[in-house]
Structure 1
Amino acid sequence: MKANKIFSMKKDTNAQVGIGTLIIFIAMVLVAAVAAAVLIQTSGTLQQKAQSTGKQATQEVSSNLIVKNIEGVRAKNSSVVLSSTIDLLRLKVGLNVGSQSVDVNQVVISITDGTTANNLVYAGNQKSYASVGSSNGAMGSFSSTDSAANLQKLLTGTTAASSTFNNSDHYFTVDKIRDEDASFSQSNPVMNTGDLINVYIATTSPSAASAKYTSVGTTDTSAGLKTAGLNLVPRTVVNIILTPESGVVTNADFVTPSSYGVKETVQLYP
């Protein structure tokens, strides 16, 4: 038979006391407090960065312009004496659903006919073509109220900033079609959801400029058309890119018809 084993526990009523133990305890509390403060600060910083990044990402993917259609206008002396090229493009532009507001003053439009490429800024933009340190980059005699006058200057005028150049190959102008909240103007061209505008791009060919046509659409050009360096004859492949300050770029590609016939205004896109 196995002998019965007796288990017993020894009572230990002693504890660590003294200044050393107190110092260790306080140090542990301080380390825990510092660690907690660092974690809280880090999590707050990360949250702010995440919110900022999320806002920017949403703006980048949701803010974009839509080109609804494009018409080409030929210069003329009369209803039967027309240019052989498209000399003005009229783009009807709106905003995508859910888009943020777009400042047209910061939009850059690139257009090419396969031979010549122009990078255009808004006619009221004071910085892009300004002299260094100046704000004289807007189109010459730009009007803050009269869109028709600005279109005429686009087609016939020159601008002296850091150098003298034709307005037609440096600028574009706009005119509002629908602006329910009256927020869009020549001096403050900001598009909100629901706004619809016309964007005018000069595409005057050298031949049209030298022929001295007196009008383009309803715009008087008797002062003399200035060439944009483009040559939109029939069967020309044209590429247009609209780049807003933030958001997705918009492409509009088309091929001009095989013949313009006797049409003064030609449907080009879509």
Structure 2
Amino acid sequence: MKANRTFTMRDHTHAQVGIGTLIIFIAMVLVAAVAAAVLIQTSGTLQQKAQSTGKQATQEVSSNLMVKNIEGVRAKNTATAMSSTIDLLKLKVALNVGSSPVDVNQVVISITDGTTANNLVYAGNSKSYASVGASNGVMGYFGDSAADNLESLLMNTTSINSVSYANPSHYFTVDRVRDEDSSFSQSNPVMNTGDMVIMYIATTSASADSANYGYIGTTTTTGGPLSSGLNLVPRSVVNIILTPESGVSTNADFVTPSSYGVKETVQLYP
């Protein structure tokens, strides 16, 4: 005879545990997916900001103007009747090695003789002295001719919003010396690698203004040039700072000679 067998019902909970684990696993996958999406988005934003910051930092250290030399010119009527002050500065400026292009239209030149300080903008800059949103800040009589612009710098005033500005104390002009790619113009004065320009800064004194000198260099100033407020007599300490839109500023400091003698053009820097 076969032994009696007893059958019992057992509670199997393994399947229930498996479903719970699956739910937890799915939840963890969803959380991980959301976290990954956030990290990817954040890393993309950080990468863009890092690239932008790196580009700006590179531009800040690479956009360097370099002052090669500075000459001073005295106003005159004849070869023997000359002003006792330096009335025009000619800065020969180039770009440093590896420099990015520089828009001269955005360069600000600060010059002081220890008593008077002038902050000058490019004569074709239409924004600096204009009202917000307006474009009437360009120097009066400014055009495509560098020679005419220099004459206007020395002789004329500019009226903006019923305010009259003496050009010598508010503007500077530029003429190109070397521009192999023909990228530089009066209306679009952008310097590229290899370019060289002359920046003209009017330093006409009140005495030169009142004496009505007829010439400054080759520029005719019939009726006398306007005063810049500066007075570059012998032994004057002059500080010039060229500040581009981006990049480091360039300083040029010099002391005028103890006597100008009979020289019409005086070497000042370096």
Q: Which secondary structure does the structure 1 equivalent of 2:150 belong to?
A: helix
Higher mean C-alpha deviation, range 247-256 or range 223-232 = 223-232
Specify the alignment match of 2:146 in structure 1: 147
Letter in 1 for 2:149: N
Give me the whole-angstrom Cα distance separating, in 1, the residues matched to 2:15 and 2:61: 66
1:20-58 CA-to-partner distances (Å, cap 9, x unmatched) read: 433222111101111111122222211111111111111
Write the mapping of 1:96-107 to structure 2, written as runs, cut at 5 A. 96-107=96-107
Write the mapping of 1:104-143 to structure 2, written as runs, cut at 5 A. 104-143=104-143
Specify the alignment match of 2:164 in structure 1: 164
Q: Which secondary structure does the structure 1 equivalent of 2:239 belong to?
A: strand
Specify the alignment match of 1:47 in structure 2: 47
Specify the alignment match of 1:9 in structure 2: none
Q: Which secondary structure does the structure 2 equivalent of 1:44 belong to?
A: helix
Gaps of 5+ in 2: 1-11
Give me the whole-angstrom Cα distance separating, in 1, the residues matched to 2:205 and 2:21: 91
Specify the alignment match of 2:180 in structure 1: 180
Q: Which secondary structure does the structure 1 equivalent of 2:49 belong to?
A: helix
Write the mapping of 1:1-270 to structure 2, written as runs, cut at 5 A. 14=14, 16-17=16-17, 19-143=19-143, 145-162=144-161, 163-270=163-270
Q: Which secondary structure does the structure 2 equivalent of 1:115 belong to?
A: coil
1:88-108 CA-to-partner distances (Å, cap 9, x unmatched) read: 000000001110000000000
Following superposition, the deviation at residue 131 of structure 1 comes to: 3.3
Following superposition, the deviation at residue 132 of structure 1 comes to: 4.1
Letter in 2 for 1:148: A
Give me the whole-angstrom Cα distance separating, in 2, the residues matched to 1:16 and 1:60: 65
Query: RMSD between aligned alpha carbons?
Result: 1.5
Following superposition, the deviation at residue 111 of structure 1 comes to: 0.2
Letter in 1 for 2:242: L
Letter in 1 for 2:177: I
Query: Does the CA contact (< 8 Å) of 2:211 and 2:224 recur in 1?
Result: no
TM-score (norm 1): 0.92
Give me the whole-angstrom Cα distance separating, in 2, the residues matched to 1:266 and 1:71: 6
1:147-175 CA-to-partner distances (Å, cap 9, x unmatched) read: 00000000000000031021000000000
Give me the whole-angstrom Cα distance separating, in 1, the residues matched to 2:18 and 2:231: 95
Query: Does the CA contact (< 8 Å) of 2:208 and 2:224 recur in 1?
Result: no
Gaps of 5+ in 1: 1-11
Give me the whole-angstrom Cα distance separating, in 1, the residues matched to 2:165 and 2:48: 46
Higher mean C-alpha deviation, range 236-245 or range 158-167 = 158-167
Give me the whole-angstrom Cα distance separating, in 2, the residues matched to 1:153 and 1:84: 22
Give me the whole-angstrom Cα distance separating, in 2, the residues matched to 1:187 and 1:175: 11
Between the two proteins, the alignment pairs up a number of residues equal to 258
1:67-94 CA-to-partner distances (Å, cap 9, x unmatched) read: 0000000000000000000000000000
